[in-house]
């Protein structure tokens, strides 16, 4: 979160690059062969989260600061038709919009990190209750603290 690195997705959504924001530094391609990458998300530790809208459903990947992306299974998100996602800054929750035939669902999964490191684990995503006659299609999501 120190503003020294950037990650971008190609205009066709098929690849991602990262770069150190220093004069003369060249970007490094970190992900190729994707179908439709959504906007990547950084968390507090410098991990970058990706969701690829593959024909078989969402593929969630996480990449450490000096690592390559690794696919992780997020029950209730992986394999679904995900149109938007966010990871909380503290990397404790993943929220996604899952497209349904008539109405989108907003779902949340807890992210569990081991003190010993390794890949995070996820709880099964559960739908976030909606009040009243909420919009049928979700166009954007964001975090808010009380």
State the number of CA atoms in the 13 A half-sphere of 50 facing the CB: 29
pTM of the shown model: 0.89
Whether residue 133 lies inside any domain: the answer is no
Whether residue 139 lies inside any domain: the answer is no
Q: Which domain holds residue 71?
A: 5-127
Provide the domain count of the chain.
Answer: 1
In the predicted model, is pLDDT for residue 98 greater than 90? yes
3-state secondary structure 86-111: EECCCCCEEEEEECCCCCCEEEEEEE
- Work out the average pLDDT over 115-130: 89
Tell me the per-residue pLDDT of 36-45, one tens digit each, with 9 for 90 and over: 999 999 998 8
Q: Which residues contact 10 (CB under 8 A, 6 or more apart)?
A: 16, 17, 37
Whether residue 132 lies inside any domain: the answer is no
Whether residue 144 lies inside any domain: the answer is no
> Cβ(109)–Cβ(77) under 8 Å?
yes
Whether residue 21 lies inside any domain: the answer is yes
User: What CATH number should be reported for the domain holding residue 68?
Assistant: 2.120.10.30
Work out the mean pLDDT of the chain and round it to a whole number. Answer: 91
């Amino acid at each position: 979160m120190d503003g020294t690195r950037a990650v971008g997705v190609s205009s066709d959504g098929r690849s991602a690059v990262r770069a150190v924001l220093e004069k003369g530094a060249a970007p490094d391609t970190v992900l190729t062969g994707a179908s439709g990458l959504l906007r990547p998300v950084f968390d507090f530790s410098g991990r970058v989260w990706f969701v690829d809208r593959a024909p078989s459903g969402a593929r969630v990947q996480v990449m450490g600061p000096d690592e390559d992306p690794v696919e992780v299974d997020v029950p209730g998100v992986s394999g679904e038709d995900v149109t938007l996602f966010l990871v909380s800054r503290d990397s404790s929750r993943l929220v996604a919009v899952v497209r349904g035939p008539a109405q989108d669902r907003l779902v949340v999964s807890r992210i569990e990190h081991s003190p010993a490191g390794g890949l995070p684990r996820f709880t099964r995503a559960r739908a976030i209750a909606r009040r009243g006659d909420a919009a049928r299609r979700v166009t954007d999501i964001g975090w808010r603290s009380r």
